[in-house]
Amino acid sequence: MSATPPFPGAGYPDASLLAPAQDSAPKPKRTKKIKATKVVDGIEQEVEIEVEDAGGPEWGARETLKVLDKDLQRVDGPVKVSGRAVYTHDVRAPGMAWARLLLAPVAALKIARLDFAACKAVKGYLAHEVLEAEETRWLGQPIAAVAAESSEAAEDCLRAIFFEWEARPAVLDRESALKPDAPQVGRRGNQSKPSVRGEEAKARAAIEAAQFKVSATYTVPVVHHACLETHGAVVDWRGGDEATVHCSTQVTFGFAGDAAKILELKQANVVGVVEHMGGGFGSKFGFGIEGEAAARLSKGLRRPVHLMLTRKDEFRMAGNRSGSHIEASGGMDSAGVLVGVAARAHKHGGLGDGSLSGLPYIYKCAESWSEISGVRTNLDASRAMRAPGHPQASFATESLLDELAYAAGLDLLEVRKANLDDKVWHRQLDRVAREVGWFEHANRTRPGSGKDELCVGIGFAISRWGGGGGPACEVEIAIERDGSVTSAVGSQDLGTGVRTYVAAIPAEELGLPLSAVVAKIGSTRLGNANGSGGSVTTASLAPAVKHAAWNARQAFAEVLAPLLGCTPADVVFVDGHVQAAAGGRKLSWKQACAALPEAGLRAKGTWQAHLQANGVHGAQAAKVEVDTLTGRVRVLHMACMQDVGLCLNRAATRSQINGGMVQALGYALLEERVVDPALGLQLNPCFEDYKLPHSLEIPKMTVVLDDEDRRAPIGMSEAPIVPGGAAIANAIHNACGARIRSLPCTPDKVLAALGKVS
């Protein structure tokens, strides 16, 4: 039973009033342990937590849903395609100053002189801040910031700074860093302590005894996040005790406190805003040096400051995905079963340690050993990037598995299934194989000869991810007397469609169309929310929205039951009206809302463990065409089957998967940060020279959503980027016999593998 809210007119019904009636002897709460996902700097960590096991909202059977699990048009689509959406880069405030950063031109230097006299003489100069006065340790490290009346004047001020420096010894690649006499990157040395798993002797003995053996080195380069909106912030402080800070970030509640400290304000008086943001992929956690510089300039000027990185600055100082160097050996028996894998790997994370998932990746193996360490260089530290560490491990493992299968003369698809106990991957592999024509393909047990000018091949790879949620989000649903409904939470939307399901879930609960609910997100004025990293947003936020919507419906039912002549449990919300379950009186939505008090109705919700799930599987297949005369690779078709639990928006989910496959195509064929180790310069810090997939490179893409039995949402945006690169590289080998062990698979590498160039 529930307590009865006040009668309309005597205040307003609030879901917090719906507390269970108390017995004279309170019953102990039932609890249960579940797996949840905690994200630190964009990297997920799975933990076990204890939660209350209570009744309440349920998602319901898929076949009963009328809004969720359908193809929904994004509610923010119109403002984005029309250019009306306001990103941090678009913010304009009265009296706003424009700022730019001076970055270290080489990897390590000692500052001899930093003179701003000429800078101050530039028309439009307003202020400057010194960020580093002595020495730098990495290429692109910020040294100073300048502010001016316009962006053009800020650029002029930057060029007018007299900057005298002395280059210091530095290392910019793995080979140089590992030399005995190499300059030390930091106090921790150039190599991190190895992480070891398994017993090397047992693994190598199993490989040696295997019928088929392969040893090879697989490398993946450093690549960039390539966010369309660069990092940056607009700090709007004009004196007084309040400020507003706009930031392009993955954590709405992660930067206002930093700004408050610099501005010397109470954190509660600094509002953080992330109305729209143009991508993060794991790179945008925290205020960053750029945000801190903007805050310092704003504090000194007492006026708003706009500091967004230029594209060149973005490439040099805003993070990247770490590269890897993996020396791997594997053994397989005649049935295609892996009997041993041994790997020694280095992560290339710049000043950081980088990331690399365990080896072998996903596939079971009787005896395995891996030793993984980071190799440090005088370059920008890597950051989490969509499935950190997984694409690198996938490329090495899937390539090794393919090479072993060819050595044994076995079907590449069947070998994968022979090394996977979980039948979900079996089903997914069979489906993507069927989509790309594997069962009619000629090269199922051996690669093509490469004698034809144009050769077609197929490759496979699989992925996994946690994607579970955890407690953080506080959602409020408001129903007004005029029939309007608002669903509000402070969460940011990276472009994954958060706004849409923040509106869609209450629409489903209240029997309304999606257009009837307005979603408000992206501000610290609203309820707390978790950061978006590790695919935890949906599994953390959706349950809280559902809980708030359910509480709102329960509270509204208490108000309407007397009018409908039924109990609150028998009030039905469906198709834009309200009625008693057994029939009888029927109210339109607006008629029902008119029964509310002037203040309307408010209901809050928090994370409910039983409304989320954890762990996804994915499989991808790629079909490519290789021109053996030029080495050019054209991807013809990519197919992905992915499980997501309960899909909240099928159109958005397919879009996320397509985006992951496009990103995978990019790192498979095109992307690579190029740094000249002698000059100490990045040679491609712009979109003209750093190659990304464009419309002509995008192949046919097939997405199959795996609607298995789980009935709760799971975050899955990380998983689709993982297997594509390995599948494409394997497809190249399958087409013509050219095994590329170093991404990206550029034409020169294809021709070299075919023996046509040296």
Q: How do residues 169-223 score in pLDDT, each as one tens digit?
A: 999 999 999 999 999 998 889 999 999 999 999 999 999 999 999 999 999 999 9
Instruction: Say what the pLDDT of residue 42 is.
Output: 57
Task: Tell me the pLDDT tens digit for each residue of 261-289.
Answer: 999 999 999 999 999 999 999 999 999 99
Of residues 635, 651, 642, 627, the one with CA closest to residue 716: 642
Q: How far apart are CA 69 and CA 645, in angstroms?
A: 10
Task: Give burial (CB, 10 Å; 0-12/13-18/19+) of 163.
Answer: middle
Task: Tell me the pLDDT tens digit for each residue of 674-727.
Answer: 999 888 899 999 999 999 999 999 999 999 999 987 889 999 999 999 999 999
Residues 6+ apart with CB under 8 A from 293: 99, 101, 129, 131, 142, 145, 307
Task: Tell me the pLDDT tens digit for each residue of 636-686.
Answer: 999 999 999 999 999 999 999 999 999 999 999 999 999 998 888 999 999
Task: Tell me the pLDDT tens digit for each residue of 52-70.
Answer: 444 589 999 999 999 999 9
Answer yes or no: is pLDDT of 161 > 50: yes
Q: Which two tokens stand for residue 181?
A: 């006499």
Angle 488-597-58 from CA coordinates, rounded to 5°: 45
Angle 665-393-638 from CA coordinates, rounded to 5°: 25
pLDDT bucket at 2, cuts 50 / 70 / 90: very low
Instruction: Say what the pLDDT of residue 41 is.
Output: 54
Instruction: Say what the pLDDT of residue 308 is.
Output: 98
Task: Tell me the pLDDT tens digit for each residue of 17-60.
Answer: 222 223 333 444 445 454 444 555 556 555 554 544 445 899 99
Q: How far apart are CA 541 and CA 440, in angstroms?
A: 44
Residue with tokens 């316009």, as numbered in its chain: 150
| Strand-pair partners of 347 | 324, 374
Domains in the chain and their CATH numbers?
A: 59-64+469-607 (3.30.365.10), 95-175 (3.90.1170.50), 195-223+320-467+614-753 (3.30.365.10)
Q: How far apart are CA 491 and CA 454, in angstroms?
A: 49
DSSP 76-89: THHHHHTT---BGG
Residue pair 462/416 in contact (Cβ under 8 Å)? The answer is yes
| Strand-pair partners of 37 | 46
Instruction: Say what the pLDDT of residue 55 is.
Output: 56
SS3 358: coil
pLDDT bucket at 530, cuts 50 / 70 / 90: very high
pLDDT bucket at 13, cuts 50 / 70 / 90: very low
Instruction: Say what the pLDDT of residue 11 is.
Output: 30
DSSP 293-357: HHHHHHHHHTS-EEEE--HHHHHHHS--B-EEEEEEEEEE-TTS-EEEEEEEEEEE-TTS-----
Residue pair 644/653 in contact (Cβ under 8 Å)? The answer is yes
Go through the chain and tell me how many residues it has. 758
**Most confident of the ranges 26-40, 137-151, 573-587:** 137-151
Contacts from 628-632 at CB under 8 Å and sequence distance 24+? 628/450, 628/451, 628/452, 628/453, 628/454, 628/455, 628/736, 628/750, 628/754, 628/756, 629/453, 630/747, 630/751, 631/746, 631/747, 631/748, 631/749, 631/750, 631/751, 631/754, 631/756, 632/747, 632/750
Of residues 394, 392, 387, 355, the one with CA closest to residue 282: 387
* Total Cβ atoms within 10 A of residue 70: 15
* 35-39, 276-280, 392-396, 432-436, range with the lowest pLDDT: 35-39
Of residues 83, 93, 144, 84, the one with CA closest to residue 119: 144
* 221-230, 455-464, 704-713, range with the lowest pLDDT: 704-713
* Total Cβ atoms within 10 A of residue 211: 12
* Total Cβ atoms within 10 A of residue 238: 15
Please tell me which residue, 363 or 55, carries the higher pLDDT value: 363
pLDDT bucket at 8, cuts 50 / 70 / 90: very low
Q: How far apart are CA 301 and CA 549, in angstroms?
A: 45
